[in-house]
C-alpha cells in the first residue's frame, strides 16, 4: 500500500527527569506554554475543533504501529495523500491501519480517510501524531484519499469532500495556502499520483480550497 511509511522523526527522545519535574512545576505555576516550549521545542498544539456532522469519528485503537498516542507539536500544515490501492474503500483502508496493531507489518495511519463516495472517516485525533508524512508527522495533519484506478485521480465526490475538509481545517488552524501540501512536497514521493503528474490540477485544488 501507498501508506507503507516510516515513523522516522515522529517520536521524541525521552527527556531527563529534571526537565520533566520542571514541566510539572511550571504547569502548577501557570507556565504551561513556557514548559511546553522547553520540553517540546514549540508551543502546545491548539485544541482540536468540534467535529461537524459530515465527519465520522472511528478512531484506531491505541497501538505502536498506527496510533501511538504521541502528541502533535503543532498543526503547521495539511498533507494530502492517495491510498495507492485503486478501488479500495475508506473502511477497508481503516481496517488495514487497525490490523497493524496485530501484524506489526509497518507503521502507517492517517488522520482522515476520504472514500470514493465522499465519506470522511477520522482515524486519529487531531492532537495526536499519525504515521503518514515521514519527517512532517510531528506538525501536520494527514488526509488519505481513495481513488478508482491507477491514475490516482479522485472521483468528484472524493474531490469535493477533500476541498470541504481542507477548508474547514485551514480556517480553524489559520493556515496559509502554502501550508496545504502533497506528500510529494515532503519526500519527493509520487503521492498523490495524479496531482503530482498534473501540477495544474493541484494548483486548481488550492484555488478551490480558498474560495
What pLDDT score was predicted for residue 211?
83
Q: What is the pLDDT of residues 16-46, one digit of tens each?
A: 443 443 334 333 333 333 333 334 434 457 8
Q: Has residue 152 got a pLDDT over 50? A: yes
What pLDDT score was predicted for residue 45?
76
Look at 40-44, 91-95, 172-176 and tell me which has the smallest mean pLDDT: 40-44
* Three cell numbers, residue 80: 494530502
What pLDDT score was predicted for residue 141?
98
Nearest alpha carbon to residue 142 among 30, 204, 66: 66
* Burial 87-122, CB ≥16 within 10 A → b, else e: ebbbeebbebbbebeeeeeebbbbbbbbbbebbbbb
Q: What is the pLDDT of residues 100-128, one digit of tens each?
A: 999 999 999 999 999 999 999 999 999 99
Asked whether the bond before 186 is cis by omega within 30 degrees of 0, the reply is no
Counting other chains too, the contacts that 123-126 makes at CB distance below 8 Å and 24 or more residues apart are 123/58, 123/59, 123/60, 123/66, 123/67, 123/94, 123/97, 124/59, 124/60, 124/67, 125/48, 125/59, 126/48, 126/49, 126/72, 126/75
Q: Terminus-to-terminus CA distance in the chain, angstroms?
A: 33
pTM: 0.81
User: Which pLDDT band, with edges at 50, 70 and 90, does 180 fall under?
Assistant: very high
- Rounded mean pLDDT of 48-76? 96
Beta sheet of 141-145, edge-to-edge order: 56-57, 120-122, 112-114, 141-145, 78-82, 180-182
What pLDDT score was predicted for residue 193?
98
- Rounded mean pLDDT of 187-211? 97
Look at 3-7, 175-179, 195-199 and tell me which has the smallest mean pLDDT: 3-7
Amino acid at each position: 500500500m501507498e501508506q507503507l511509511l516510516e515513523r522516522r522523526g515522529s517520536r521524541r527522545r525521552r527527556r531527563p527527569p529534571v526537565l520533566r519535574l520542571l514541566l510539572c512545576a511550571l504547569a502548577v505555576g501557570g507556565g504551561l506554554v513556557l514548559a511546553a516550549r522547553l520540553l517540546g521545542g514549540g508551543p502546545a498544539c491548539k485544541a482540536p475543533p468540534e467535529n461537524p456532522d459530515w465527519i465520522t469519528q472511528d478512531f484506531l485503537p491505541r497501538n505502536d504501529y498506527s496510533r501511538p498516542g504521541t502528541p502533535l507539536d503543532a498543526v503547521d500544515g495539511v498533507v494530502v495523500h492517495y491510498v495507492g490501492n485503486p478501488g479500495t474503500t475508506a473502511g477497508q483502508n481503516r481496517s488495514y491501519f487497525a490490523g497493524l496493531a496485530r501484524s506489526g507489518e509497518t507503521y502507517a495511519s492517517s488522520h482522515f480517510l476520504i472514500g470514493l463516495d465522499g465519506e470522511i472517516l477520522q482515524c486519529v485525533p487531531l492532537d495526536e501524531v499519525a504515521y503518514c508524512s515521514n519527517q512532517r508527522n510531528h506538525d501536520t495533519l494527514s488526509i488519505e484519499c481513495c481513488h478508482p484506478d491507477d491514475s490516482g485521480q479522485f472521483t468528484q465526490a472524493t474531490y469535493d469532500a477533500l476541498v470541504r475538509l481542507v477548508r474547514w481545517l485551514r480556517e480553524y488552524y489559520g493556515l496559509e495556502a502554502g501550508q496545504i501540501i502533497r506528500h510529494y512536497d515532503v519526500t519527493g514521493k509520487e503521492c498523490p499520483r495524479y496531482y503530482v503528474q498534473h501540477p495544474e490540477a493541484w494548483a486548481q485544488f488550492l484555488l478551490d480550497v480558498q474560495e
